[in-house]
Structure 1
Amino acid sequence: MGELTKTLELKLVDPNAHKRQKLRETRDAYQQALQEAFAAGCDTQSATNDVVIEYDLSGYAKNALKKYVPQLHNSYDADELHDDHPVRFTNEGLQLDHQPQNALEWYVKIPHHEDYHLWIPAHANPEHREWLEALYADDAEIGESRLFERDGTWYLHVTVTRNVEDQSEASANERTPPDSSESGEPCLAGLDRTPIGVDIGEASLVTVCHRDENGSPVRPQLWADDGKTVRRLRKTYFTATKRLQKRGSERIADSFGDALWDQIGDVFHRVTHEVVEYAESVENPVLVLEDLTYIRENIDYGEYMNRRLHGWGFAKLHAQIRYKAAERGIPVETVDPRNTSKACHACGEHGSRPRQATFKCLNDDCWVGEYQADVNGAINIADRYRSGESHRRSDREDDSRQKAGADDSATDGDSLTGPQDSHADAETQQVTCGTYAS
């Protein structure tokens, strides 16, 4: 294992007039604080703090200044400053969210001042996707971030450090074939790939299966016990935090919630690592996932189930499988999941689910009868790829952009006006689509 550090660039997408004004206010206040602290000859954090504390900036920007200004005097021995320094934030300041079902997948929460934050959608460099997914999945550490404006467009540079296997990037380039998801060419059936269907659900957290050379389903693997564990932890989280919040114990609720989500994150990391290990044991594999765009659009099981399923960890599990597979040079594709849980993998006829884990084929002439439901779904997902159907991210973005308007909110296409973009609204968005959402 080795440690690598990379600077990722995010382009902020069309902030509305209100958010542009807030970004400029942050930049102007930062520049003034920097110039005053430098002119005062501040060569310690304490001295810098005495100057910058009066400025209308977030604590993350002030803390970055307290580290930066003394360096200018003690390390760089600078005589003067140029006029345009990027706004620096310490590593705790920036939050990242991933909404892969949207036309704009990535969102960043930028601190404005102590009690005010801005959620803004962002375009990422495609070459940095693996790093962003690792960061979102908590498998990379965020460092200092820098906000700046260039030719009327706002950008964020984010320093990220992660552990990678030796030669992982080289091996990925060597082993990734021209039909992988990074190429622009259609993925055709019969290219000697072995599609492994990956079914993500609540009963079995993940289920994988593939067919052998004779077309028979082989080596299904289910992480059902992990599904039970995550369901239990989620139920504990929602129940306990609600009670604590009613008692006014917000800090205890936050701390308790963080501990539970850390446990869920540990389960996710172990399971996705085992999924990739499973793929490595198969000759010439391709992992086939359900397209999250279709999952989000088609889930409609009533208010209670919608809340549970939309809060389920689809996006985090997808992200972890993607970047871990990329490290091993294993391609990942997506297909439309429509009816993969309803159709029989043997005859294609629709069936029923008499129990959560049981699929029953309604075709009297089919040999299947009853089958494990999640395995049936995983086989159907693999078969979608085998039949020649595969969705690429670029194709999905082109389709979804036609439906999206000027996207300036954290999750949907609505443009926020000034009064709506309040601290309360920012906090609501954080709950809806923040670190623990999917």
Structure 2
Amino acid sequence: MTDLVLHRPASVVDDAEAAAVEALRDVVGRRLAAAAAAGEQLPAGDRGAAVDAAIADALDGYARQRLQAGRPPLDAAAEARVHRTLRDLFTGVGGLQALLDDPTIETINISGFDNVWVRRRDGSKQRVGPVASSDAELEALLREQGAAAARRGGHERRFDRAEPELSVRLPNGARLHALMDVSDRVAASIRLFPPRQDTLRDLVGKGELTVGMAALFEALVRARRNIVVSGGPAAGKTTLLGALGYAIPPQRRVILIEDTSELRFDRADHPDMVAIQTRMANTEGAGEFDMSRALRSSLRMSPDVVIVGEVRGAEVVWMAKAMSIGIDGSMCTVHASDSAQALLRLVAYAMEPPARYDRGAAVALLASAVHFVVHLDFTAEGVRVVSSVREVAGTDGDQIISNEVYRPGPDKRAVPATPLRAETLETLATVGFNPAQFEWDRW
């Protein structure tokens, strides 16, 4: 087996190591519980040292017990693997920790404790070993992450039969979404992010967009154009939204709104920033702070720019109001299969309860709010790419009129199509954009 077999120690060679983990996890847990009961409140770094010490003592005792029973103790390599697994259980995310620590992994998808798949940053997909000994243990591990969110300074997230959905940010910044009871088995998807926010230049280097597109996008941000980033699941919407946000001049006041914190804006780059996270109601049904409420609140906080991690319902009305009342340069993402559908989806959201705009009013609102849609897709090789850039031009009755400035090529990579409108070029020229870049823009 490889280091990706997680619930048991990495590279397990027999059941002796798994038995040691099962025997010692309770011993270590009791020692740590006793220390907590005695009032020992340790900082995170000191807690890790305390956990290491407790594991080392427990392993020493375990070795003596094996010798007394006439069995050989674990060798040094096996002890190290057991120590690591126990440490992951008490300071990390249990059997998931080794996957979370792997920098080559981008997404972890779980459909039961023993059906685990990873997608790597190079686009490859692989099945890996179990992350727990049962679905019940996996459920408990995920529930603990919801409770741990409060200890990390956030809000506790329930995960039980009454609340079978969990969305939470893990200690390393990864995004976890899980289901239980309503799914056939405990299921989870974890999205891991690079240690730092990608810039537009970084995405050019990864082959996700061209130099010309990067120049256009930066000019759109500086010229305070409102941008919607669209795409399917795991298409890189959040990554591109973060890269666009990175281009926002530091003097602008940014209000960032997300369900689960994913965007990693550095306050050194955006010193005047407020990050808002929604929350669900508590067990009494009180305390909910949803996306619509967060957006309404943001409008009273003197924003220069509002960034919404994802729009997926009637909150689009408040997003569009922000974009159309002078808070220009705002951005959001939306799930869609192409750039034209992204606009249709936003209109449909505005027509849903509780907003219930009629179609004509929804079209007028969105057409006055959104300036550009940037759509992401995958090539046949699984590489994320910008596939379309669409400029909103106005309305015609109950239809939004738009021009596809870049359209999908044969391999899904965007190629220049329709020129930008003259008034748009004039606006972009004021921030230094050179339209000649369209003429030589190539992948």
TM-score interval, normalised by the smaller of the two chains: under 0.3
TM, length-normalised to structure 2: 0.25
TM, length-normalised to structure 1: 0.25
Higher relative contact order (CA 8 A, sep 6+): 1
